[in-house]
Amino acid sequence: MDFQRAIEALRTGAFILVYDGDGREAETDLTIASEFVSPASIRTLRKEAGGLICMTLSGEVRARIGLPFMADVLRRATPTYPVLGAISTEDMKYDRHSAFSISVNHRETFTGVTDIDRAKTISRLAAIAKEATKRENGWAADVFANEFRSPGHVPLLNAAGPLLAERRGHTELTTALMIMAGLAPTATICEMMADDGHAVSKEDAKAYARARNLVFLEGQDIVRAWRSWSA
């Protein structure tokens, strides 16, 4: 079964492909568990996927750290910068709201954008995410503030809660996979782009997966598995 193969692959640090769904973005994200991200992983994402390399966080981890949604930050800053009110309307054609939060660099990075720097930022934040729910309130926020700065080169994506109840984007789908796999509740994802200026089609993404013996999962299959797992 593809779902079980995907879970096993994620546990070994392998990539999988996740397609959100027809009628939504209709895009495929190359996906890896954040706790296994290395400089080689970042190189693969930027060269073979080509979209924006982002890191997801579960709602529980987001709450423990105290991270906002970026649209809320922009709206709250509108009295000082009025133009922000006009651009934070979230009028996307495929969803009601954006998952984007702030962007960060680990303080031990230099520019933050190299493969080594981005891997450092992601892997360290994944370790914090894994520990966050086991520690006392305030621990994750303190460690995050001490170790990271913003803005940076790793965009963070906040999974909407309850997970997969309403929003079913790549952020929620891949975060649910990490939780079901027993991994840190964070995925590193990147949209797969084609050379014609568009996103890679579903069929071409499937062909990419077959050629590399990677698992291709559809969002609807992840939603069904989540419902069964979380029942």
Q: What is the pLDDT of residues 51-85, one digit of tens each?
A: 999 999 999 999 999 999 999 999 999 999 999 99
As a whole number of angstroms, the distance between CA 70 and CA 68 comes to 6
Q: Confirm whether 136 is a catalytic residue.
A: no
Q: How many residues does the chain have?
A: 231
User: Choosing from 106, 191, 208, 218, which is the catalytic residue?
Assistant: 191
User: Choosing from 90, 97, 147, 153, which is the catalytic residue?
Assistant: 153
Contact residues for 14 (Cβ-Cβ < 8 A; gap 6+): 32, 214
Q: What is the CATH number of the domain that holds 113?
A: 3.90.870.10
- Encode pLDDT of 180-218 as tens digits: 999 999 999 999 999 999 999 999 999 999 999 999 999
Counted domains in the chain: 1
Q: Confirm whether 213 is a catalytic residue.
A: no
Q: Confirm whether 106 is a catalytic residue.
A: no
User: Choosing from 8, 94, 108, 166, which is the catalytic residue?
Assistant: 94
The residue-averaged pLDDT of 93-99 equals 90
User: Choosing from 25, 35, 105, 158, which is the catalytic residue?
Assistant: 105
Domain that holds residue 21: 2-230
Q: Confirm whether 146 is a catalytic residue.
A: no
pTM of the model: 0.96
The residue-averaged pLDDT of 81-95 equals 91
| Tokens encoding 135 | 């520690």
